[in-house]
Structure 1
Amino acid sequence: MTTIFLLERLDTPLGEMLLATDSQGRLRIVDWHDHEEKMLQLLRTQYAGQHIDMRESTETSAASEAMAAYFEGDLAAIDALETCTGGTDFQRAVWAALRTIPAGQTISYLELANRIGRPKAVRAVGMANGANPISIVVPCHRVIGSGGKNALVGYSGGMQRKRWLLEHEKAIQPLQEEPQAALPGL
């Protein structure tokens, strides 16, 4: 059986984003151009035994329009997007729980494990979070370490992107630049 994914490329403040939808318009993948090889490996793992035919799309999907609106400041634009993923039952439970974290809020890995009724599975939750194929829409960036808002850990798109996303959603304060010391004699 062959499943066709339609791939779009969207310019964002964080670089070129890759989005793939299926024939029903369901979002299947969101990743970054500089992580394309990792994205393809993730697809092979999550859809083992299936043939995925990735085709460049010439049309703009509803998912692409919603992502553009999100980056322009309409944080709720992505909330109603229909998604579909491969992965294990456990991974899909973690990803479903991620979608319940509102923009502007963060939770710890422990809290996420508690939400799915598996308080001792913190590491497994972290692994499932890292295997999320639909970043931002399935907001794995909203999960932080147990040290609070300063514990930004683990984002497969890179920590700079995680920080930007959380600042964009007003979940954390922007970093303040250190004042430059005055040079002697000035």
Structure 2
Amino acid sequence: MRRTLMLLLTGILFVSLGCDKEEDILPIIQSEFYIQGKVDGELIYTDYIGPGNIDIYRISDPTYFSFERKISRENHIIWDVSVSDLNLDNAELPITIRNYGGIGEPSVQFYFSNDNGDEGINYGVDNIDPDRFDFTITSWSDDIITGAFSGELISGSNPDKFITVTDGSFRIKLTRFDFSI
């Protein structure tokens, strides 16, 4: 009887420990490919790519590539990146790229879009002062690009409004695509 009672109490103890809500919360599993950064101190992690969107590395024009990520299908907070005049296969890395690097020089169009808020504001690299934002590619191997970014992005609707982006990083697999077909 004593043994049965001990087994019963042990079983109740394990069941009660297993039902603790805080213990049942699973850790966030991050994807292999993502874009993340802090916007005015708030971490924005994106790893969702919508139907019909692909991260492109053009075979017909290997000096252009683009990629983007959203938080989810329903959540339209987006990081969106396009780089031109840089052939990744021949680039010396790491390389820091700014907007409007000059004719024939690599340049980046970098956007953060928050379509979920009341304002629905898009922020991008400042065309007047491109030195406010750094975009660095640190590696390119097996069609996987990694890097970092930080700086200020300007509002598309209010030239006096900026956001500060810190601790930005990305790891994306680009799809080689031939547009000349």
User: Which one has a bigger Cα radius of gyration?
Assistant: 2
Which is richer in strand? Answer: 2
Q: Which structure is higher in RCO with an 8 Å CA cutoff and minimum separation 6?
A: 2
TM-score category, normalised to shorter length: under 0.3
TM normalised by structure 1 equals 0.21
TM normalised by structure 2 equals 0.21
